[in-house]
Amino acid sequence: MKAWLKGTMAAAVGVWGLAAVAVQAEEMVRIGVAGPFSGAYAAFGEQQWRGAEAAIVDINRGGGILGKQILLIKGDDACEPKQAMAVANRLVDNDEVQAVVGHFCSSTTMPASEVYDEAGILVMTHGSTNPMVTERGLKTVLRMCGRDDQQGTVGAEFVVKRLGAKRVAVLHDKDTYGQGLADAMKAHLHTLGLTEVMYEGLTRGEKDFNALVTKIKAAKADAVYFGGLHSEAGPLVRQMREQGVDVPLVSGDGIVSEEFVTAAGGGRFVKNVYMTFGADPRKSPEGKALVARFREAGYEPEGYTLYAYAVVQSIAAAMQESGSYNGVELANWLKRHSVETVMGPKSWDAKGDLKVSDYVMYQWDENGKYAEVE
């Protein structure tokens, strides 16, 4: 190819590319939604996307942010740290987002939030509960959910005081979230004067935990605590029941999905399973209309759906009120103000954690539904 032709083409492509970016950047507020949209935890990604999408539709209908419409950009991290890094870099460099909703798994939020922090972009996670997410002193990281140390405390109190357990087996999935949760549980058990009879990790992606169940049985555990997600919790509880280990299984927000029932192989296996999760946002008066709208569209806004909605609301409120897209300014605004969300008013402390966290205990029944423990 002749040199002049090459040059002309490059220039043409360059100008065209620039123009496209400039027009879009001016017209729309770009918000990234990063989470597990594929992989074993895609159910949580779907909750996140449904929530965020509904929020965008509502805000855009109400005139957008500072007169601009919002555009959502999806980033699939499959709950894998290395993919999360790639997604984070893409959202920052190519998509030039102004804020990020996500990620979901703590193991992906932690590395990805460093990328956003460096680029000065606000990131608010709807579901990463590991304490280290906000403990690292990053300036632009906030969350819409509680922390595992709070969750573990509620879990431990419940196991000891309500269930009256004396011999507790603590299991986890060796992941940032799962082990963090199990550690928090263990620590609070110790403060309650109880030592666990077992503390072990299983392997994510496996389905056979029979050896571990036999060990639980031999240890005569009268309650099992599991830090991890539904795809391992399901087979675990089923194999417990099949080996005749009928003690309660207590877990955290990693199993708050109907898929837990599928993974366990049916409702009758999930009886006597408990989990900690924030007070059901579907019951809050602020979200009533929204929940009804979701149900009308044939979608049950379970788990983290409304959390994602509230995250978008908070980001939008911060941008609207502070008139800025700078991550640090947005984070500082949020840390000083309270936001009205579908889950009620929310406010944050200096670390970026919610000032009030509302973990309560839920119980699964034999129909595969969960309800708050009275």
Q: Which residues bind other proteins (CB under 8 A)?
A: 38-40, 42-43, 174, 200-203, 205-208, 210-212, 214-215, 217-218, 230-231, 234-235, 238-239, 242-244, 259, 262-266
Q: Are 131 and 150 in contact (CB under 8 A)?
A: no
Q: How far is the CB of 6 from other proteins (least distance, A)?
A: 34
In the block, residue with structure tokens 């590395």 = 111
Q: How far is the CB of 211 from other proteins (least distance, A)?
A: 4
User: Residue 334 corresponds to which amino acid?
Assistant: L
Nearer to other proteins, 205 or 285 (CB): 205
Q: Which residues contact 171 (CB under 8 A, 6 or more apart)?
A: 182, 198, 199, 200, 201, 202, 212, 224, 225, 226, 227, 228, 236
Q: What is the largest CA-CA distance in the chain?
A: 83
Q: Where are the beta strands (DSSP E) in the chain?
A: 28-35, 69-76, 99-102, 122-125, 141-143, 168-172, 198-201, 223-227, 249-251, 273-278, 338-341, 344-347, 359-364, 370-372
Nearer to other proteins, 182 or 312 (CB): 182
Q: How far is the CB of 265 from other proteins (least distance, A)?
A: 3
What is the SS3 assignment for 345? strand
Residue 43 CA to residue 53 CA, distance in Å, equals 15
Strand order across the 370-372 sheet: 198-201, 168-172, 223-227, 249-251, 273-278, 359-364, 370-372
Nearer to other proteins, 39 or 120 (CB): 39
The torsion angles phi and psi of 65, rounded to 5 degrees, stand at -110, 125
Residue 25 CA to residue 213 CA, distance in Å, equals 55
Nearer to other proteins, 260 or 277 (CB): 260
Q: How far is the CB of 71 from other proteins (least distance, A)?
A: 25
Cis peptide before 230 (omega within 30 of 0): no
Query: Is residue 96 classed exposed, middle or buried when 0-12, 13-18 and 19+ CB atoms within 10 A define those classes?
Result: middle
Q: How far is the CB of 227 from other proteins (least distance, A)?
A: 13
Q: How far is the CB of 63 from other proteins (least distance, A)?
A: 36
Nearer to other proteins, 38 or 94 (CB): 38
Nearer to other proteins, 207 or 355 (CB): 207
Nearer to other proteins, 8 or 214 (CB): 214
Nearer to other proteins, 106 or 239 (CB): 239
Q: How far is the CB of 251 from other proteins (least distance, A)?
A: 16
Q: How far is the CB of 12 from other proteins (least distance, A)?
A: 36
Q: How far is the CB of 200 from other proteins (least distance, A)?
A: 5
The β-bridge partners of 226 are 171, 251
Residue 315 CA to residue 330 CA, distance in Å, equals 8
The β-bridge partners of 29 are 70
Q: What are the percentages of helix, strand and coil residues in the chain, rounded to 5?
A: 50, 20, 30
Nearer to other proteins, 79 or 250 (CB): 79
The count of other CB atoms within 10 Å of the CB of residue 94 is 10
Q: How far is the CB of 33 from other proteins (least distance, A)?
A: 17
Nearer to other proteins, 255 or 331 (CB): 255
